[in-house]
Structure 1
Amino acid sequence: MSEVPESATNAAEYTVSEISGALKRTVEDAFGHVRVRGEISGYRGPHSSGHAYFSLKDDKARIEAVIWRSSMNRLRFQPEEGMEVIATGKLTTYPGSSKYQIVIEQMEPAGAGALMALLEERKRRLGAEGLFDASAKRALPFMPRIIGVVTSPTGAVIRDIIHRITDRFPLHVLVWPVRVQGETSGMEVANAINGFNGWDGGALPRPDVLIVARGGGSLEDLWGFNDEAVVRAVAASRIPVISAVGHETDWTLIDLAADVRAPTPTGAAEMAVPVKADLAAHIAMMGARLASSMSRYLNRRRETQRALSRALPSADQLLALPRRHFDETAARLSRALQANTQGKRAHFDGRARQLSPRLLQHRLREKRRETGILAVRLPRALDVFVRDLRALYHRRTGRLSIEATGRRTERGRQHLQQLDRRLGQSIDLRLDRAKRKSFELERLMRTLSHASVLERGFAIVLDPSGAPIKRALDIADGDDVTLRFQDGDVQAVATEASERPAKPKPERPAPAPAKKPPVPSGSQGSLF
């Protein structure tokens, strides 16, 4: 058994862990803290553990990056895919995958240009969804009972708003405390707006109007109010929202989504409530105008009533004719009652004479005699009626017998068979006629077609455009023509024209001279 030869080198052997550790120490000692500028790539938000993993890249290289949860909470803005940033941290390696990475401790946008580009892209995308449409904005209530304010409870903004509302129209103000700067400010403001909208009206009713306010600042300071969650919460709010973020020259996306934008927080308070003193003065003025108008109206109505009363006749004049008619009617009433009583008595006496016992007995005897006659006629009439009904029954049953039904069915079947035979004969006759007519038309078409003429040995002369030439006068010496035979076309050039009278022709540019093909000796002369 042969021995394994010893190595010819004296290089030290390292384990994989030793090499990885040495590389880690070398990278961390050589670079320490660095500032790296690049574009965020592969960002999917914080992991469930709170850490964030992504990459920084430029047009030539790529480096892995990680932000631990403690550093993530200190960022002033929310990282997003494609954002160009400047990251500060230390380089290290990850032995588990033999990669180097930067552990980011601080991160900021790469200048205002990057934030503005991100802001414009978000504005375009949310605007395309209709979140900034003017048709969706609502009018503010004229006199709200409760105002909800979303702002920091410790800043000067809330004091200015409360002071301005107290001066103009004192009412209840509900403050929802939030951070107005930092990474979590956008989510806190969105939760506050959603919280006011979800208010169930327990101890206090839901606010009638909301004010989202903050003082002035840079683009980075106001970045939380450009958050997509804030814009969507304002657009979906059922309560009218006044945006009062920054100074008059500051603009954020919440200003576009809000129902009303105020230049300052104090201006928002002025928009939310009217001036109580002005309202009281206006009401007093309107009350005075109402009292004056009612007084003038009553005076005009009183004068009109007096004028109308002078035109009306007196009570004696109005009642003269009705009183006279009443007196005349009262005088005729007694005579009319006596005449009516006498007429009723005469009518009663006449009816009484008709109802004497002798007359009633006579009428009773007449009715008995008529009843006896009808009793004698009734059996004979009943026999005749029954006999007629029986005869009618026999006639109808004879018509509905099985034999009669069978005969009618047989006649109908024979009629249908006859119609079926006639239909087949009619169809065959029409088809024969159509075929004969088709054959005749086809024969006529072939007879009249130029193809039959070509089959008999004739040819058609065509000009370069494909139009037929009908006369020799239309052909000049040197013209290109086409001879169409039954089995194909032949190109030719006119070389000898027959004698014909001169014909004026329109001027046209002279064609380029072309060589005539040689005519073989002994060949027969031709026009072509």
Structure 2
Amino acid sequence: MSDFDDAFTPVPDEAPRPNIGEYTVSEIAFSVKRTIEDAFGHVRVRGEISGYRGPHSSGHAYFSLKDDKSRIEAVIWRGQFQRLRFRPEEGMEVVAVGRLTTFPGGSKYQIVIDSLEPAGVGALMALLEKRRRELAAEGLFDEGRKRPLPFLPTVIGVVTSPTGAVIRDILHRLADRFPVHVLVWPVRVQGDTSAREVEAAIRGFNALAPGGPIPRPDLLIVARGGGSLEDLWSFNEEIVVRAAAASEIPLISAVGHETDWTLIDHAADRRAPTPTGAAEMAVPVRADLIAAVDSGARRLAAALARYLDGRRTQLRASARALPQPRDLVAPARQRLDLASARLAHALAAAGHQHRARYERAAARLSLRSLIRALEDKRTRLDGAGRRTEAALERAVGRKRADFEALARRLSPERLARGQEDGRRRLEVAAGRLGRAFAETTRRRRHGLDLAAKLFDGLNYRSVLRRGYAIVRDGADQPLHSAAAISPGMRLAIEFADGRIAATAGDGAPLPPEPTAPAAPRKPRGPARSGSGQGDLF
């Protein structure tokens, strides 16, 4: 028994109290802490996570482990939490390895967890399925967002372990099919830091600038060999899946064997069954391309030869159908010979004709005829000048007489008389305008009075004021006959002073009362169409 146990051994009441040692609260708390830590150095605890709210702002995680009877507080420090292969979740059954201790400030004991594992493969599969559904709901696995792979990439980036057989298989397969420039980003493919290294590699390749000192890959391959679910768990982490989905470079996932599936396979643009299969998807076979190019070149040469032979044959056939050049110009040459033969006779005849016309014109242009024509023109010009002067004098005289008459009419006395006449005519016009306005106003007022009387006579409310009423249905439409009313039907009856609501009874209709025939009355005006008012008259 320890000194602590001796100190707390029950003592009879009659024992002298001064012999009992005194302890402070801190001494007791730290004695309990040392006792528990010595008795439970490292323990392995299986339980269900309870009260988990994610890491604290400090990076530490606080929660509880419980079973059907008890619970124990648990804490994971920030450094250990960052090295966990998966993230704890509420209700998950786990196996925790750590040491028991106490928290003196709260008088409670707790387990400080060093490592945390799901409790069996079933728990991992349940966690994997839950994470798959959450990421699929965000659209990270949609086929519509996946891009086609480049046909012939010039640079391929490989994210894998640099020491395993996977990278050797990929390089060997690429060299056999089509040698390209390969960039390897070394990562751990298993362990605590594997997921963060794979995520950093994918984002690092995407961060390379095109045309930089390090060539930017046209295609990425994330590869790993086969293994158990725990071995492949790094490629099920959320950070890896999101990095693969956000990659701007097309990505092939080649994790595990053909039967192994991880979440990165769903987010990648293409999934390969093996790393070797990823190399086969990445590049075509160079020999097949060379053979296809050679075959295409031979087919192109043969097609070009056939095309030229066909066009040559068509050209020869067209040339045979065309006439000879000498045959084309023969008719023109013959017409030229005939025209040149007739040209000398035509020139001589034209010369004789022009000479005769000149002689006839020269005969008419004798000196005597010119003198007579000149004297005649002078006589006519003199007569026209005399007539122009006389006409000008007569026009000036008429204008002078008009101006004198106008000056006489514009005397001051005449102007005064004109103003007085204009004033009298204006007063007469003003009086006629006032009388016309008064007469028009009277006629318009009389017409308005007639229209008001006609409106009052045609308005159905004047009929209601004489003791009549309008019965309407629930849709506020007037009813024209008793047959349209059914028992229990809701009605609205409109009188001259308002409306009341009513319900139709189930009694038999009353017989109509005999009335004296009314004298026909001349209608006051045309009935309006499109309303129910005409049914009242």
- Shorter-chain TM range is 0.5 to 0.7
1:305 to 2:334 alignment: no
Q: Which amino acid in structure 2 is aligned with residue 165 of structure 1?
A: L
Aligned position for 1:455: none
Q: Does 1:435 align with 2:464?
A: yes
Instruction: Determine which of 226, 234, 255 is the counterpart of 1:224.
Output: 234
Q: More deviation in 164-173 or 298-307? A: 298-307
- Give the aligned residue type for 1:95: P
SS of corresponding position for 2:151: coil
Q: In the TM superposition, what are the counterparts of 1:386-405 in structure 2 within 5 Å?
A: none
- Match for residue 94 of structure 1 among 103, 121, 141: 103
Q: Which amino acid aligns with 1:254?
A: I
* Cα shift readout 1:256-298 (whole Å, capped 9, x = no counterpart): 1111111111111111111112211211121112112212222
The correspondence of residues 93-492 of structure 1 with structure 2, limited to 5 A, is 93-201=102-210, 202-324=212-334, 376=395, 428-429=456-457, 430=459, 432-433=461-462, 435-436=464-465, 439-441=468-470
Cα deviation for residue 124 of structure 1 reads 1.2
| Counterparts of 2:189 and 2:135, CA distance in 1 | 22
Q: 1:412 Cα deviation (Å)?
A: 8.7
Please tell me whether the aligned partners of residues 40 and 85 of structure 1 are also in contact (alpha carbons under 8 angstroms). Answer: yes
Helix, strand or coil at the partner of 2:266: helix
Q: Which amino acid aligns with 1:317?
A: D
Distance 2:348 2:140 in 1: 92
Residues 312-337 of structure 1 deviation map (CA, whole Å, 9 limit, x = unaligned): 33223333344445556777889599
CA change 1:8–1:136 in 2 (3 A) is: same
What is the TM-score when the length of structure 1 is the normalising length? Answer: 0.66
Change over 3 Å in CA distance of 1:433–1:280 after alignment to 2:
same
Distance 2:440 2:117 in 1: 101
Amino acid at match of 2:72: I
* 2:84 is equivalent to residue 85 of structure 1: no
Aligned residue for 2:468, secondary structure, equals helix
- For 1:159, the aligned partner's letter is R
Query: For residue 150 of structure 1, what is the amino acid of its counterpart?
Result: V
Find the aligned partners of 2:348 and 2:232 in 1 and give their Cα distance: 106
Assess, with a 3 A threshold, how the Cα gap between structure 1 residues 226 and 367 changes in structure 2: closer, same or farther.
farther
Shift in Å at residue 79 of structure 1? Answer: 3.0
Indicate the SS of the match to 1:150.
Answer: strand
Distance 1:72 1:176 in 2: 26
In 2, Cα distance between equivalents of 1:156 and 1:57: 44
May I ask how many residue pairs the two structures share in their alignment? 428
3-state SS in 2 of match to 1:282: helix
Secondary structure at the residue paired with 1:439?
coil
Q: Which amino acid is 1:309 matched to?
A: A
TM-superposed deviation, 1:150 = 1.6
What SS is found at the alignment partner of 2:328?
helix
CA distance in 2, matches of 1:269, 1:97: 59
Deviations along 1:328-356, one digit per CA (max 9) or x if unpaired, are 677788959997997xx99xx9xxx9xx9
Distance of aligned partners of 1:93 and 1:204 in 2 relative to their CA distance in 1, 3 Å threshold: closer
- The 8 Å contact of residues 253 and 272 in structure 2, kept in 1 or not, is answered as yes
CA positional deviation for 1:366: 6.6
TM-score, length-scaled by structure 2: 0.65
Unmatched 5+ stretches in structure 1: 1-6, 388-394, 452-465, 471-528
Distance 1:100 1:291 in 2: 88
Partner in structure 2 of residue 461 of structure 1: none
Structure 2, gaps ≥5 residues long: 1-12, 366-372, 407-421, 473-477, 488-504, 510-537
- 1:314 to 1:33, Cα distance in 2 relative to 1, 3 A: same
Quote how far apart the aligned CAs of 1:64 are.
Answer: 1.6
Tell me the CA shift for residue 158 of structure 1. Answer: 1.8
Q: Deviations over 1:368-407 (max 9, x none)?
A: 9789979959x97xx99xx9xxxxxxx9xx99xx979x96
Change (3 A) 1:60 1:298: same
Counterpart residue number, 1:492 = none
C-alpha distance 272-329 of structure 1, shift in aligned 2 (>3 A): farther
Displacement of 1:227 after TM fit? 1.7
Percent pairwise identity? 57
The separation in 2 between residues aligned to 1:66 and 1:157, in whole angstroms, is: 39
Could you tell me how far 1:14 is from its partner in structure 2? 3.8
Distance 1:368 1:257 in 2: 118
For residue 111 of structure 1, report the CA deviation from its aligned partner. 0.9
Deviation at 1:156, TM superposition (A): 2.2
Instruction: Indicate the larger mover: 177-186 or 366-375.
Output: 366-375
